[in-house]
Structure 1
Amino acid sequence: MAIPYLWVDKNVGGQAVIEGVMMRSPARISTSVRQPNGDIVTLTEPFVSLTKRVKVLGWPIIRGIISFFEMLILGIKTLNYSAEIAAVTANGEDNPKGPVSKKITFSIILAMVFALAVGIGFFFFLPLLLAQLIGIHRTAFGFNIIAGIIRVAIFIAYIKAIAGFKDIQRVFAYHGAEHKSIYAFENELPLTVENASKFSTLHPRCGTSFLLIVALFAIFVFSISDTIFAIIIGHQPMLLQRFAVHFSLLPLIAGISYELLKLSGRTRDNKITKFLVAPGLWLQTITTREPDAGQLEVAITALKSSIEGTELEPKPLTS
């Protein structure tokens, strides 16, 4: 017979890593990774966001900016850990302090720095350059509409391109497992593979949706900033001026987008919300795959570990 559970408000999220899932609760972060020998290894660390420790950093919009950079740093850290665990030898031995670990750490850091530089150039500067070459830089709104369309098109094309790789498909399956396990948690069900498997791989609070919200909301913000620039200076900004202004506004856009994403999670049954989150959910049809039972087990292990001993942990009802 099923045990009745008492649940409280939920506030968990996560991300897929190499052969595993990272889950974050308000009190800790847990990363579970499947080793080649089939074992699940979990690293759990205490973590309290700066938005909870410093009052002003918890204000709306500001908390979104802080959370964005926190998740970027945590993403690098958990990817590094998962790469080390996934690189264990076939007989189950590993050497986390040896040359292999150092090589992985250096490679991942180098790759992340390179990816960030390429990302800024490819997804941010290139759309501005192409829109300018088209010759519509005299009108702020028209320019940013075209640049925004180019930016979103490049982003979608990039995701579709990498989705063809087998290793990426496994990461996408763990992404789906993350969403399914969180759905089971949010719906007050015991965290089992059977319960999690019933849910969708698409979730409105996903980071993929966040990136799309940023790209779309940026069109509006950049149009306003370009108009203000033109009023003050007397002409539309030149390419490098536009790049500098737009780039400086990214933290603000990320902060507002974060608030919109949280709002969509709280009002997901609203018809307007459903319409607004539809593009992000569609994009997740590319970035998620249906996970197998083993991948769901890993995601659930990470989720259970992240909430264990906290107020979020479900407790059996007592008579």
Structure 2
Amino acid sequence: MSQDSRNIYGGQAVIEGVMFAGKHVNVTAVRRKNDEIAFYEVPRTSKSWVQKLKKIPLLRGVVAILESSAKGSQHLNFSMEAYAEDELTDEKDQAKASEKEKEGKSGWSLSMIVGVAVAGIISFVVGKIAFTVVPAAIEELLFGGSNLNIVIHNLIEGLIKIVFLLGYLYVISLTPLIKRLFQYHGAEHKVISAYEAGVDLTVANVQRYTRLHYRCGSSFIVFSVLVGVIVYSFFHWDSMWERIYLRILLLPVVLGASYETLRFTNALRDLPVLRYLGYPGLWLQKLTTKEPTDEQVAVSIASFNRMLELDRQMGKA
């Protein structure tokens, strides 16, 4: 296996495409309506102090999350703009169609684009507020007066979070655009798995691999719930507001510890017994990923190969 194949790569699904993050560059490939593949390439730059923070356990997880969010938003915006441009082009091509058909097409395109934006906003709100504050408040309202151990309170809170998470993912997966996004998410995982196995990145080879992967952000979400149960158990509260305050205050600690847990389980995934530590995250990925088509896998391969090509060029510069 080559030196490149020992590198750890990650990525994310975008609208009609996939982004991969290399050592020196981030590359997104999207399939346009004319069936061509368009690329968006952004060199990776990072301040020296950021690199130092990324070497500190616990703190590096928070830094990685913030960096990944900023990076992902930039590439998601590119894919959304390409999608919107294709839709507008289709509308111009249909200028001679009936006004009713034209309006229907325009409305559909707008709703799809707005749907992506709303999904992004909801994801942020749910992740930062609902998944942190609301479950704690609900548990406090339902069981706050009960004479239960603090660990039991936290376990119930964690269960409420899991129910919220599964319900949210199931509902958004029913929309056509999000379903395709989840297919590209599966294509991203398949390409990384095939690459890590050292096989040639052809559509046939890549399709043989699972759409689930230990390092996925979906696994991180599950770990954040489980780790939260442990971390919160070390802190006592006397009121609902104090409980909510503690949850928000300890959120960076939970995120940092969850990141370390994800790294730990990924390092142990080949051990016969300890590999099961990562299974909860893999189970959640059955909702956040779907089996991709050959065309979607081809886009993912194109993105990954372009990233590798630029990484090698910039690494020699």
TM-score for both structures, normalised by structure 1: 0.83
Instruction: Report the alpha carbon displacement of residue 48 of structure 1 after superposing the two structures with TM.
Output: 4.0
Query: Matches of residues 89-238 of structure 1 in structure 2 within 5 Å?
Result: 89=86, 112-113=120-121, 115-136=123-144, 139-226=149-236, 236-238=237-239
Offset at residue 119 of structure 1 (A): 4.0
Task: Point out where structure 1 has 5 or more consecutive residues left out of the alignment.
Answer: 95-103, 227-235, 314-319
Report if the CA contact (8 A) 2:232-2:247 is conserved. Answer: yes
Q: 1:19 to 1:123 in 2, by over 3 A?
A: same
Contact 1:160 1:286 in 2 (8 A): yes
SS in 1 for 2:13: strand
Distance apart, 1:111 and its partner CA: 6.4
RMSD in angstroms over aligned alpha carbons? 2.8
**The residue matched to 1:224 in structure 2 has which SS?**
coil
- 8 Å CA contact retained: 2:84, 2:113: no
Which amino acid in structure 2 is aligned with residue 20 of structure 1? G
More moved, 265-274 vs 194-203: 265-274
Q: 1:93 to 1:307 in 2, by over 3 A?
A: farther
Residue of structure 2 equivalent to 1:317 = none
262-271 vs 30-39, which moves further = 262-271
Mind listing any 5+ residue stretches in structure 2 that lack a counterpart?
92-111
- Counterpart-to-counterpart distance in 1, 2:173 and 2:117: 22
Query: Equivalent residue of 2:39, what SS?
Result: strand
Counterparts of 1:251 and 1:201, CA distance in 2: 29
Call closer, same or farther: CA 1:204–1:115 in 2, change over 3 Å: closer
Could you tell me which amino acid in structure 2 is paired with residue 188 of structure 1?
A: G
Number of residue-to-residue matches in the alignment: 293
CA shift at 1:266, angstroms? Answer: 2.1
Indicate the SS of the match to 1:201. Answer: coil
Superposed displacement of residue 84, structure 1: 0.5
Give the drift of 1:195: 1.6
Q: Aligned partners of 1:312, 1:260: CA distance in 2, in Å?
A: 34
Q: Which amino acid aligns with 1:221?
A: V
Quick check: which one's helix share is greater? 2
Distance 1:142 1:297 in 2: 48
- Seen in structure 2, the aligned counterparts of structure 1 residues 136 and 305 have a Cα distance that, compared at 3 Å, is same
Quote how far apart the aligned CAs of 1:62 are.
1.4
Percent identity reads 32
Asked if 1:20 corresponds to 2:30, the answer is no
Query: Bigger CA drift: 258-267 or 147-156?
Result: 258-267
Indicate how the Cα distance of structure 1 residues 213 and 248 shifts in structure 2: closer, same or farther if over 3 A, else same: same
